[in-house]
Amino acid sequence: MHTPLDYDGHLPAYVNITDGKSADTKGAYDLPLLKGSVIAKDRFYNELSLLNVWDSKQVYFVVRLQKTVKVNH
């Protein structure tokens, strides 16, 4: 289930329920996000194309990568 909250009203703005067979990130592509939205994602699944979509929509995001992701410094 993917549920963005309306910051002002603290209520769900949209609910996307997917079956248990779908990847978590699949539902995230369908979220209707407005410019300036903020996404906080725990244990992100290295879906860099999704981050690109959010960035192109001028959506802010904070993600915590899985331990298996290697980052070059």
For residue 16, give the DSSP letter. Answer: B
Please write down the long-range contacts of 10-18, taking CB distance under 8 Å and 24 or more positions apart.
none
- What is the three-class DSSP state of 72? coil
Q: Which two tokens stand for residue 4?
A: 């963005």
Structural domain boundaries of the chain? Answer: 5-65
Task: Yes or no: say if 22 and 30 are a contact pair by the CB < 8 Å rule.
Answer: no
Residue 55 confidence (pLDDT): 93
pLDDT per residue of the chain (73 residues) written in tens, 0 to 9: 677 777 777 777 778 777 777 776 777 787 788 888 888 877 666 678 888 998 999 998 888 777 776 777 6
Give CA torsion, residues 62, 63, 64, 69, to 10 deg: -140
DSSP-derived letter for residue 30 is T
